[in-house]
Homo-oligomer: A and B are copies of this chain.
Amino acid sequence: MKPLLIAVIQAGRNFRYTWGSQIMTLLTVSLSVLIFSFFFLIYTNVMKAGVNLGGDLRLAVYFEEEPLPEMITRLKKKITDFREVDKIIYVSKDEAYNRLSQHLGEDIDVLANINPMFLPPSLEVYPPKDLKNLSQIKLFSEYLTKLPGAIKVQYGQGWIKRFDYFTKLLRIIVILSGGLLILTATFMVAYTVRLTVVARQEELKILRLLGATNNYILMPFLLEGLFQGFCGSALGLLSLGILYSWVKDRFYSPSFFEFFEFSFFSHTIIGIILLASIALCIGGSVTSMRRFLKV
């Protein structure tokens, strides 16, 4: 009879005798995978969220006088030399006035007695999506302030600062809780697997006394680890998927997801999580069993 077949039979038999603790292990693995992947999902999405928020950023450089066209070209070059940007738009006094009147709409008459030339001309700089860090923005803005003829740079400093802190806070929370949770999950899986082995230590000792080879003892545990790692993490990922779509349905509003573009794991990452938890379960049992194999 082939050893593998025997191992399968043995694993099946073991399951019949210890299904309670096996299901417990499976649930523990599921819960751990759920927790871990939940935070991983949030972490990756939060990191992206910062980028999206930064995408709306616009720095307006106001000038005292309308610069000459060739001056504008030079200014644009100076800016792009310092840092790559998405685009730069020149807004002349006229355009600024047009914009304001458009903005006011029906209330255009407010401007009736106003000199259309009172608004300063400006260069609107749209930084690239990856410029999301407050200190980088500050640096950029300081550079822009020093451009010849520039009198002021505006970019909603107050709000951006707040946003930056908010994002920072969110990251601290996500990282700390992630760390805490991964600690917990590892602890739980290690503990549960160890207990499963301890619960069967009597059986293992007897098998050793009867002359069982290492293979004979290890194989069923490997199969079990494979099974538990796979089913456990599949179950955990499935729960996360359900949770994810529930949250998406529940809190969905187009404007919400305009800012936070949440997305689920790619197939690759799902595969990696499955493999990692299988490896963890198998590694866990084999490590806790090592001392029995020496008897």
Question: Which residues of A are in contact with B by a Cβ distance under 8 Å?
Answer: 24, 27, 31, 34-35, 38-39, 42, 49, 53, 56, 64, 104, 107, 109-111, 113-115, 117-118, 120, 151-152, 156, 158-159, 161-163, 165-166, 168-170, 172-174, 176-177, 180-181, 183-184, 187-188, 191-192, 195, 243, 247, 251, 255-256, 259-260
B176 & A35 in contact (Cβ 8 Å cutoff): no
| Bound Cα distance A161, B248 (Å) | 19
B114 & A247 in contact (Cβ 8 Å cutoff): no
B110 & A173 in contact (Cβ 8 Å cutoff): no
A165-B259, A247-B172 as given contacts; A38 in contact with B115, CB under 8 Å:
no
Give the chain B neighbours of A172 by CB distance below 8 A. 247, 251
Q: Closest approach, in angstroms, between the C-beta of A177 and any C-beta of chain B? A: 6
Q: Is the interface of A mostly helix, strand, loop or mixed?
A: helix
Q: Which 7 A-B pairs have the closest CB atoms?
A: A114-B118, A159-B159, A107-B151, A165-B259, A165-B256, A42-B173, A162-B259
Q: Closest approach, in angstroms, between the C-beta of A42 and any C-beta of chain B? A: 6
Interchain residue pairs with CB less than 8 A apart (28): A24-B191, A34-B180, A35-B181, A38-B180, A39-B177, A42-B173, A104-B151, A104-B152, A110-B151, A113-B115, A113-B117, A118-B118, A159-B159, A161-B255, A163-B163, A163-B166, A165-B255, A165-B256, A165-B259, A166-B170, A168-B256, A169-B260, A170-B170, A170-B173, A173-B173, A177-B181, A181-B181, A188-B188
| Bound Cα distance A247, B176 (Å) | 10
Most chain B CB atoms below 10 A, which of A34, A104, A174, A191: A191
Most chain B CB atoms below 10 A, which of A38, A169, A191, A247: A169
B107 & A64 in contact (Cβ 8 Å cutoff): yes
B120 & A184 in contact (Cβ 8 Å cutoff): no
| Bound Cα distance A112, B165 (Å) | 38
| Bound Cα distance A15, B104 (Å) | 78
A166 & B107 in contact (Cβ 8 Å cutoff): no
B166 & A259 in contact (Cβ 8 Å cutoff): yes
| Bound Cα distance A120, B161 (Å) | 29
Give the chain B neighbours of A256 by CB distance below 8 A. 165, 168
Partner of A184, one of B35, B53, B192: B35
Give the chain B neighbours of A111 by CB distance below 8 A. 118
Give the chain B neighbours of A260 by CB distance below 8 A. 165, 169
| Bound Cα distance A49, B222 (Å) | 50
Q: Closest approach, in angstroms, between the C-beta of A170 and any C-beta of chain B? A: 6
Give the chain B neighbours of A156 by CB distance below 8 A. 156, 159
Closest residue of B by beta carbon distance from A195: B195
